[in-house]
Structure 1
Amino acid sequence: MTPEQMRDASLLELFSLEAEAQTQVLSAGLLALERNPAQVDQLEACMRAAHSLKGAARIVGIDAGVSVAHVMEDCLVAAQERRLLLRPEHIDALLQGTDLLMRIATPGDTQAETAVPAFLVQMAMLLDPSSAPAPDAAGAAATPSPLAMPPEVPTTPVEPEAEVEPAPAARGGKRAGEGAERVLRVTADRLNSLLDLSSKSLVETQRLKPYLASLQRLKRMHGQGMRALDGLKSQLEGSGQSAEVLDALAQTQRLLAETQQILQQQAADLDEFGWQASQRAQLLYDTALACRMRPFADVLTGQSRMVRDLGRSLGKQVRLLIEGEKTQVDRDVLEKLEAPLTHLLRNAVDHGIEQPERRLLAGKPSDGTLRLRASHQAGLLILELSDDGAGIDLERLRRSIVDRALSPAETVAQMSEAELLTFLFLPGFSLRDQVTEVSGRGVGLDAVQHMVRELRGSIELTQVAGQGCCFHLEVPLTLSVVRSLVVEVGGEAYAFPLAHIERTLDVPAEAIVQIEGRQHFWHEDRHIGLVAASQLLNRPAAQEEADNLRVVVIREREQLYGVAVERLIGERVLVVMPLDPRLGKVQDISSGALLDDGSVVLIIDVEDLLRSVDKLLSTGRLERIDRGARAGRGVARKRILVVDDSLTVRELQRKLLGTRGYDVAVAVDGMDGWNALRSEDFDLLITDIDMPRMDGIELVTLVRRDNRLQTLPVMVVSYKDREEDRRRGLDAGADYYLAKASFHDDALLDAVEELIGGAQG
């Protein structure tokens, strides 16, 4: 049989899989040998990998693969027999050969075989310089030409997105050993369907619980009925009833006793069935979920090599130390982590690690070290990438912020280190004056942050000057499941992913204040903006009265928002069910899920929700949360709306009137005040005249044209003390005009009491 006949798809696929596994062994072993060329176990592992690839290439008839693997094996055997000491140039060549083998095994790479002759010449010179061929007739020297591959980027085959990658242990086919676990290829869509079905079966088993509870309640009622009959029998026997009555009663008791036994047996059977069904459904779900999980090491393929090669190209010696490579993570998460991790690693080698001479002057080893740790914590994958480089030059960072006109110099000078470091995540921000091909390319940490946020995760940078930087990433272990807080809004269930929740609070109604026309409450020494989930999600507001608001505090970068909800249902682990793509992007919603009782819950897209908040704020349409029913127990206090574009005047009037016992709301201009008047009830309006968007005269005119507000008392408080100004205000419909020039506490309070009486009438 000719080699061409043997190159069928199945054999080539097996060879490609084996090449992928064995080249990983070669890459890891050669990097270890670079640090210590005399490691016997690593030499043995690399030699066996090259030998296996040579045999596999010979079986499928790929002569180029046989030649490359054979010369690599010769080099490694020579090192084993101590006829050759592996130097950096040997390691470089062997790593290039490893990449070349992977290219040869990759379907569609037609240029790989053309690079083989140059590689063989290069290896021959390294093994025996005297064996280098003389220049040919055209005068071309036998100096090996560089391989057509970027040295810092190892080539790995790109697997189709819809397929589950076989485990490395089985990639060698029969060479994996008889005890190796069989691996089958299954499409990602089928795995997703399996996970969806298993989650639904888990939900269905939960529906047995109410039936079992009803059966138990029926048992209790049955027992009460039997005891009642026992009491009736005692009474009848003592009252001299006929034998026929007593016999009928006894027969009834016997029937009830039989039904009691059946009830007890059925309840026990249903209880046992429900428990076993839930256990099996949970096991099915866990197994289906585990099928999507892969070790974190799968995303690290080639990263150690990339760090090493990139460092050498920059004149640096850098190595990558990895901890927690066996940590299990969802396949989709791993795929999305590869790009940001690669960028951070390249960034650390280029920007973080100093040149060897600078490191020695700083008292550090000449070799730089990157550490990548992976671990689980509360359903999250925690990644820490640290380097022992120079850290961030904060003074240079301050100058760059000022030079780019991102913030005034006096403000920058007062910023904390954490505040300064956040500027590094802005689009296009860099401390480099020139864009480099290594880690600049015009794409900075903002791209990394965007990719991490797409995973519903977060990233934080810390540093110690002269000692290095550390990136702390938190992303979900899986995108198929999300740990959420389920709440009730407008009588329906919604879920906030826990990754975006700072905390939950009960906020007393009296703690809610108006600042710049927006509602806030004070918590841990800062004001937190308050919005109603019912308005954001277009649900009817709750009508029930309560002394406290239930608030979910969500975080977006350094900004905190409080979202008022009706009820906190509790924390749940939800299996994500994507929305039908025909719906397009549903505002503020990312996906759906099923609760234990089979009811549907919508999972909130927090970033989209915050964009909705900003939109409502910018258009002035953000509604206040109605606190009329929560103003306190006892007699209702009279409510006053203060409309003024001066924060000082607003707060002064609010405090004065609040001290006297009135319930005071504020608005920043006439438009804000008009919106408040249409959505809430007030006993008095106090307004300025000169304001943006809508002045006081326009506001009073609108009030007097509105049937509901025609009788509302209106007071104008203005700096203008001329008679014509006073006449304009009164002509528009104001009941009282008070000049700020002659303004004092008693004048305002007396005027308010004259118009509407005391705070509680």
Structure 2
Amino acid sequence: MSADRLRDASMLDLFRLELDTQAQIISNGLLALERAPSADLLEACMRAAHSIKGAARIVGLQAGVDVVHVMEDCLVAAQQGQLELGPQRIDQLLRGVDLLLRIGATAPDQDAWQTGPGREQINAFLHGLQRSLSEPDAAQTVAPTTMDGASNTGDSRPIGGDRMLRVTAAHLNRLLSLSGESLVESHRLASFNAALLRLKRLQHNTAHSLSLLQQTLQDSAPEAARLDVLRTLRQQFAQSQDMLAQQLAELESFERRHSSLSQRLYDQALACRMRPFTDRVRGYARTVRDLGRALGKQVRLDISGEATQVDRDILEQLDAPLVHLLRNALDHGIELPQQRLAAGKSEAGTIRLSARHNAGLLQIDVSDDGNGIDLEQLRRAIIQRGLVDQATAARLSDAELLNFLLLPGFSMRATVTEISGRGVGLDVVHNMLKQMRGTIQIFNQPGHGMHFQLQLPLTLSVVRCLLVEIGGEPYALPLASVNRTLALEQEQIALLEGRQHFSFENRQIGLVSSCQILQKSEAAAADRSIPVVLIGSHAQTYGLRVDRLLGEHMLVLQALDPRLGKIKDVAAAAVMENGAPVLILDVEDMLRSVEELIAHGQLDRVQHHSQPGSQPPQPGKRILVVDDSLTVRELERKLLSNRGYAVRVAVDGMDGWNALRSEQFDLVMTDVDMPRMDGIELVTLIKNSPQLKAIPVMIVSYKDRPEDRQRGLDAGADYYLAKASFHDDTLLQAVLDLIGEAQT
């Protein structure tokens, strides 16, 4: 392994990101295993450990490889039933996760882990865990009963993977009653239709009477005959008017009843998805008490609004933001007992957590009776970090000052503790709320505490969207992800470093084509101005060129068939008011697609007017890289892109299989152990497909035993490369042997 790769800051950052993710999977799995042993949880822990070991070997962190290897031995023994994962062994494995995170945090300086105290820590851990493999665990796990599990989660997930939700009999009875009302209302349409048929016959008779009147006038019939026909015509016309007025009134009444019934039916169906707020917060009181004791503080948590009904999807995502706010209140807000007594307060502090419905929104309040925040100290911290100059800082209001607490990396702590000081707490809260289309407000009373007010939609199943036309078809963009809409003139677009930009609020914003992202043909603009939608955050904002803006609409989300997998750049579907289907775009996924196009140098220019005769550039040979390790994917992508190949990445076998069915590739490179579909399954599918079997397939895996290699080749792989002996030249030479040099 070259020293240059180890010093590659971007690769190390990717490794740390992957390490954090996979370490969290192992930690969560181990804690769940302590409560209820499960083969699926063991498999998830094993897969996460494999990914960490492979990524650590790629970036040259041998200390990390050593730690993960012995953890794998313990997990394999548990899988084979040779030992039981009791509390002591789980404690040792969790210490191993902590050790891995410390090793990753100090990369690339690994000398401390090869000799001295660092190596002693590793050796002590290895010796302790290896010894536990042969010794019985003093305490055994106790699995909770099914009743306890159900009461804790409020739902269950059967083996088939379908989502299930507990619904009360009362909810089902009301839903059935409303469905019956809807059926009765639909039968009213039959009588309404019969009345319209009578009106149609009356109009036909009226038309016949008009013909008779015309004939009598032409034949110079007696005046009495003409008057008689005219009298009949007037009667029929009056009857038509009366019947039409009655049917219009009936139609209006039906529309009102149907709208009311539809709303009640939707509200009742939505109520079936609701769960009480207490389902998420029932364990918080113990958490606050234990953490307060660890900090030497006496703290009590008061929870109100426990019966407030919250949408299941929102409730599941609320845990992390609320825990961050509670930890901040404990560490930053609540004072030590002696400080509280000196300030004339009670010795024990109080944190209040409440939930309620307010103005059609879910409002959650987290407050404490601590010391609040010193606004002048906050103002000085903002200036010291260079966020604003002194003159600007002096003009900031209290609310504007407090909003700086939500910035990434901002912390009032000079030192980092286990609980706070890293500046990620409120940033995480803010980002999570944005993902749920929510907002946060901060209120402060110096010396008396802080108050955080969260407002979220009552449900994530209804979303207000901006409808746009792309490639002649309507698409929806969630309004929460739309920053602004613009109309750009051709002269406002400039080229910077070969890419199109335009100026907006003293910033240069990159211009990208929505048609290229969605792989659709781009139509020439009908007007001189180009409709543009601004998406993304402050650090990553792009202008999305669309064909037309169609206005705002409230749409009810419809989940896509799970058999489709994750469709690139698409979040969900909906049905518009006219009954036409529309796809709701995944803006975060689109931003990743833009970054991928930029990284590969494939971002097209937005054409204002059609340019007949222009030829698109010919791409090089295309390679699909399939690996669930972010570190490995990025390394292989860089190596291949630098040699001129066009590289597309997939996060697992299922993602790779979807890509193969929609795009053309000259080579597939895949790992073996991956979630959803492993590499052997993917190779087998490719080689059994008449359309794809000619594509060369290379397996790149950490498994280097002869039987593993033979298994991959038997499945149809054309080349097998072990990550343990991974070198840049080895990989590139294998690619050259299979498909030759990249073509430009």
TM-score by length of 1: 0.45
Ranked by relative contact order (alpha carbons within 8 Å, sequence separation 6 or more), the top structure is 2
Q: Which has the greater radius of gyration?
A: 1
